[in-house]
Structure 1
Amino acid sequence: MSNFRFEEKHAIAGLAFSWVMALTCAAPPLFGWSRYIPEGMQCSCGIDYYTPKPEINNTSFVIYMFVLHFCIPLFIIFFCYSRLLCTVRAAAAQQQESETTQRAEKEVTRMVIVMVISFLVCWVPYATVAWYIFANQGTEFGPVFMTAPAFFAKSAALYNPVIYILLNRQFRNCMITTVCCGKNPFGDDEATTAVSRTQTSSVSSSQVAPA
């Protein structure tokens, strides 16, 4: 693992896995396991947390969604990001004389904290309210009660790209270069930083073994 390099094939596999997980989340109600119903202000649809509906096994689907698509991802996020921070801090400790490495360590730490907080802001309110509704079926709820959490959940896809662009210079440089047809109109500083950061990452990953 100390010589691991993240390559294009790993990115493709990650994307494929993400789409498979998305399908296992979104497709079952289309085939009779639970169902979609209007939620909140009735301007969007969501999983039916409101009724038991034994004929479509609604209870089992809600439990499945809560465990597989919230609790497990939450655990994986905390586990992976904590390991990432430990590895980055170990690399920074071994190269204390390198200002670039120290700056990269602070940047990664800040970005990880922001990403974890954004995930919690997006999904904890939705999961909490959905489970509360599921556990108190038959109780009347106002439309706003589910609208606000649903808004945060549906905006989750927006946050990660914005966080990467704002907090990661290498990602920002690649984005600018791609949008501007291969050229960076803001100069070479971003590109130089990106190359330096990549070299630092390569050295760190080859020298630091996982904790």
Structure 2
Amino acid sequence: HLNYILVNLAVANLLVSCVGSFTACCSFANRYFIFGPHMCKIEGFMATLGGMVSLWSLAVVAFERWLVICKPLGNFVFKPDHAIACCVFTWVFALIASVPPLFGWSRYIPEGLQCSCGPDWYTTNNKYNNESYVMFLFGFCFAVPFATIVFCYTQLLITLKMAAKAQAESASTQKAEREVTRMVVVMVLGFLVCWMPYASFALWMINHRGNS
């Protein structure tokens, strides 16, 4: 049933690649966003939506592994319906995060090299309440998923270590422990490498706008 969530993750990444990469490449050739303000809103929304689905899917994968392996709910069985519900959950949360700039809570504008669009980290116009939106994104779409990933994989590692001790550290359990440890490190570091620079830059921009 994990495959449902992985397909969901792939669809989200494909959305970002098809929309964001195409407009960015075309605009980069002209050194500015060439598609106009309305397309900027659409591109910013679609890229943010796909990014948030991808991010929350990583958290859901960790949560699913925790439920299946650590069994905090006893004999609960993670079924396809639950996996589909988790996928729907990622899209609902992503919509909650990406829709507000379309209706005045922050806005989508060209960012970086002005070749793609994203939430407004830059301006100090209080009309759009950019600061509160950035803090909302940082907490709701970075800190919470990251905490979920760390908690679930830490519990997974602890459970495996306890099982290894109970089985007198057999070769198979030692191998499984090494594989899970490697997976935990890769997932956490991968999450940080992908999202920490963007999240940190957004917070830095919010706190240093107007400084020379």
Give the alignment's TM-score, normalised by structure 1: 0.61
3-state DSSP of counterpart to 2:163: helix
**Hey, what's the Cα distance between the residues in 2 that align with 1:53 and 1:85?**
46
Aligned residue number for residue 136 of structure 1 = 208
Structure ranking higher on relative contact order (CA contacts 8 Å, 6+ apart): 1
Residue 133 (structure 2) pairs with residue 69 (structure 1): no
Q: Which runs of 5+ in 2 are unaligned?
A: 1-72
Post-superposition CA distance 1:104-147 (Å, at most 9, x none): 2221111111010011111111111111111011246xxxxxxx
Identity %: 54
- Structure showing the higher helix proportion among its residues: 2
Give the residue type in structure 2 aligned to 1:21: F
The correspondence for 1:21, drawn from 93, 104, 107, is 93
Give the alignment's TM-score, normalised by structure 2: 0.60
Aligned residue number for residue 127 of structure 2 = 55
**Hey, what's the Cα distance between the residues in 2 that align with 1:98 and 1:13?**
37
**Hey, what's the Cα distance between the residues in 1 that align with 2:117 and 2:175?**
44
**Hey, what's the Cα distance between the residues in 2 that align with 1:10 and 1:39?**
38
3-state DSSP of counterpart to 1:20: helix
3-state DSSP of counterpart to 2:191: helix
The correspondence for 1:87, drawn from 159, 178, 182, is 159
User: How many residue pairs were aligned?
Assistant: 140
Residue 81 (structure 2) pairs with residue 36 (structure 1): no
Post-superposition CA distance 1:54-96 (Å, at most 9, x none): 2222222111111111122222221111111111222222223
**Hey, what's the Cα distance between the residues in 1 that align with 2:161 and 2:80?**
26
Instruction: Quote how far apart the aligned CAs of 1:48 are.
Output: 0.5
Alignment root-mean-square deviation, CA = 1.8
Moved over 4 A (4+): none
Q: Which runs of 5+ in 1 are unaligned?
A: 141-211
In our comparison, the structure showing a higher alpha carbon Rg is: 1
